[in-house]
Amino acid sequence: MGILNVTPDSFSDGGRFVTVDTALAHAEQMIAEGADMIDVGGESTRPGGEPISVEDEIERVVPVIEALTRRTNVPISVDTTKSEVARAALDAGAAIVNDISALRFDFYVADAVARADAGLVLMHSRGTPATMHRLPPVADIMHEVTHSLRASINMAERRGVKRESIVIDPGIGFGKSQEQNLELIAKVDQLIAAFPDYPLLIGTSRKSFIGRILANNSDRLHGTMATITASILHGAHIVRVHDVKATVETIRVAESIRDNPGQM
């Protein structure tokens, strides 16, 4: 899943793709490099981020989604927590809604997804983008993530979202400590075992916990690829990334190792 932020303030690439032309060019580049889907986000969810209005978010994402669906058959996802934005994006041609609140902020997102027979990514998070970095860590992050995601899955299915349309995401970096982010990556296989009916998405790309490990101000590319490798070896089905070409090559090697018939 290639990340396309059409925002002025995203933590990594804010302001780079805010026009339809620049967004379209970047999406086409990611598709050429091997992206299987494109995730369009109009509101930054970085720690400390400020919310924007429904109208502003729709104005940012809908023209880009309309342009992309005219140019490519690759599925387009919209990264939003608002049901009004989800409906507008789905009407514009999006096939997936990626909700970082897992319906906590607006459970009508599930209604919009069910009506459109679309896909839904449910990501675990705590607090809001404005508060999550100040929350004290929970005692048992695996229990917290599995318990919360089960509640979100149940709500989505009760509101008509098909089971086969749901993807889960443990929400790396969203209200977790450094150690908990690493624990979740190391235990991806346990999360998959807890949710055998749902594909698992991991989003670690360029996140601050990688920078803290490396203790530098690099672009965090190599650290990201390390987390991608670990996630794939533990069974992750989808990875959400900024750097598609490097990720495709990393996955190809990691899968070759994982699927080596000589392994016991």
DSSP assignment of 94-135 equals --EEEETTTTSS-THHHHHHHHHT-EEEEE---S-TTTGGGS
Within a 10 A sphere around the Cβ of 136, how many other Cβ atoms? 8
d(CA 164, CA 9): 34
Select from 180, 60, 166, 96 the least CA-distant residue to 132. Answer: 180
Catalytic residues: 207, 240
Task: Give CA–CA dist 89/67, Å, rounded.
Answer: 12
Question: Rg of the Cα trace of the chain?
Answer: 17
- The side-by-side arrangement of strands in the sheet containing 38-41 is 2-5, 38-41, 76-79, 96-99, 119-123, 166-169
- Tell me how crowded residue 21 is: count the other CB atoms within 10 A of its CB: 10
